[in-house]
Amino acid sequence: MRLFLALVPPPELRERLGELADAAHAHYGGRRMPDESLHQTLAFLGEVSDVQATELVDWVRRLTVPPGEWRLDAWGHFRRPGILWVGGHSPDPALGRLQRRLWDALEGFGLAGRPTRFVPHVTLLRRAERLDAHGLPTPDLVWVYNRLDLIQSINHDRGSRYVSLARSPES
């Protein structure tokens, strides 16, 4: 099964991110990410065995995530595959530390794939027709987090559906 670790926004923040996605979609087309799919990926694990998935579920349910606050105040993009996102103007040291800590533990499970670069972001559009943010409202959101989810990505003809398999306790 295909898994990743992510921060999932609380409902009010998810709604505000959805409003930004609507504004971006109106300007740039593409495929708008559904509100229920909005998240910040901390570690993409790819395909894992059922045994590894069971071990990861147990680990996540015991995992302590230090509370943090992430300011989303910038638009960004990845040219391929036409992704428009929101994130921070400045690197967030706490998110970087959390991501490195997670990968240190994941490598202990025999998982590989630690990225060489970590760009915290929330994808709002895929296959956008343009990738600049001219004419879009300046984001000014604060994401207070203290837990993460282990999420299974299930592919289907209209994209991917995400199912949370485990959530860390609130810290």
Distance CA 138, CA 119 (A): 19
> What is the number of structural domains in the chain?
1
Q: Give the pLDDT mean for 44-72.
A: 97
What CATH number is associated with residue 118? 3.90.1140.10
Q: pLDDT tens for residues 78-120?
A: 988 899 999 999 988 999 999 999 999 999 999 999 999 999 9
Q: pLDDT tens for residues 133-160?
A: 888 999 999 999 999 999 999 988 777 8
H helix runs in 29-70, sequence order: 50-62
**CA-closest candidate to residue 38, choices 162, 135, 170:** 162
- pLDDT-based confidence at residue 1 (cuts at 50, 70, 90): very high
Distance CA 14, CA 24 (A): 15
What is the residue range of 48's domain? 2-167
Contact residues for 52 (Cβ-Cβ < 8 A; gap 6+): 109, 110, 111
> Which pLDDT score is estimated for 133?
81
pLDDT-above-70 percentage for the chain:
100
Write out 94-153 in H/E/C secondary structure: HHHHHHHHHHHHHHHCCCCCCCCCCCCEEEEEECCCCCCCCCCCCCCEEEEECCCEEEEE
Mean per-residue pLDDT of the chain:
94
